[in-house]
Amino acid sequence: MILSRKLMPDLIAIQAFECAARHASFTHAARELNLTQSAVSRQVKDLEGHLGTLLFERVRQRVVLSEDGQRFLPEARKLLQQAEETMLRAMSSADARSSLSVATLPTFGSRWLSPRLPDFLRQHPGVVLNVGSRSAPFDFEEENFEVAIHYGQPVWARATCTYLCSESILPVAGGALLMSKQAMTPADLLHQPLLHLATRPRLWSQWLEWAGLPGETAYRGHRFDQFAMIIEAAVAGMGYALLPRYLIEQELRSGELRVVLDLPMRTENSYYVVVPDAMSTNPLRQDFTAWLLTQVTNTI
């Protein structure tokens, strides 16, 4: 697809617009951008002419965004961020033989993937990795990633999902909750503080039902939107958490967390390596997928 040059955004003008909008002042924008006030005003005027609308209104010696300006500002910031990320990636891989951009689930990336990446780099010297976190499927054509690690079902538009492994969770605790030396039963957890993952609100209910107990009372307790937060809360003794072992290897070794019931339940979804169809034959993506498969057992 070839864009008309008339539709190509002028990043300098967009930068002047965003800066003026942030400060509500052409003068302050000029100071930040090391330009004259008239230069900033001219850039904004050119952008308004390009878009065919007024982006600012003058109110009591200040400039405020018009309705069209308010609608355009998020898109302008997105364009500037994408331009900056593109330049930084190009600069980081300037001397590299090749590069690979990987999207991964946040806690999976920090606790499981990152410690293992040096092994991949030893096998592929000269490769530069760009790793970012994404919690949900995205459009590869709009994002600057070439591979993704996905938890869920093997469904992703215009991409191929390769099964990586399944996942099992089990109850763990830390902090003051470790003081009790008495052996626990699943029924004991019905009356204990529970920690919940907001994106998987039924985990405790499913685990209790799997253990043969009623799960309708399992929704009370603290909620967090990332596994990483639940891990820290469990270490602090805020409650009992359902976690996969692979995320808490370090805490289990150090004794900060302890498995209170060795009754792992396999979750309904699995992990997949996702490669966009347009890049499915790229050797480096194939190598990364093959390497990932060597790092897991059937369940983590």
Q: Which of 42, 59, 92 is the last residue of a domain?
A: 92
Q: According to the model, what pLDDT value does residue 96 have?
A: 47
Q: Examine the domain organization and report whether 221 and 160 are in the same domain.
A: no
Measured from the Cβ of residue 118, the count of other Cβ atoms closer than 10 Å reads: 9
Q: According to the model, what pLDDT value does residue 278 have?
A: 87
Residue ranges of the chain with per-residue pLDDT less than 70: 1-9, 61, 88-97, 298
Q: Examine the domain organization and report whether 10 and 69 are in the same domain.
A: yes
Q: According to the model, what pLDDT value does residue 238 have?
A: 97
Q: Examine the domain organization and report whether 54 and 106 are in the same domain.
A: no
Q: Which of 92, 127, 150 is the last residue of a domain?
A: 92
Q: Flag whether 224 is in a domain.
A: yes
- 105 vs 19, 66, 129, 184, CA distance in Å? 33, 38, 16, 32
Evaluate whether 163 touches 297 at the Cβ level (below 8 Å).
no
Q: Examine the domain organization and report whether 258 and 221 are in the same domain.
A: yes
Contacts of 193 (CB under 8 A, 6+ apart): 221, 222, 238, 239, 240
- CA dist 240 and 238 (Å) reads 7
Q: According to the model, what pLDDT value does residue 92 have?
A: 53
Q: Examine the domain organization and report whether 171 and 259 are in the same domain.
A: yes
pTM, full prediction:
0.70
Domain, as residue range, for 81: 5-92
What tens digit of pLDDT does each residue of 149-181 get? 999 999 999 999 999 999 999 999 999 998 877
Q: Examine the domain organization and report whether 153 and 284 are in the same domain.
A: yes
Q: Flag whether 116 is in a domain.
A: yes
Q: CATH code at 233?
A: 3.40.190.10
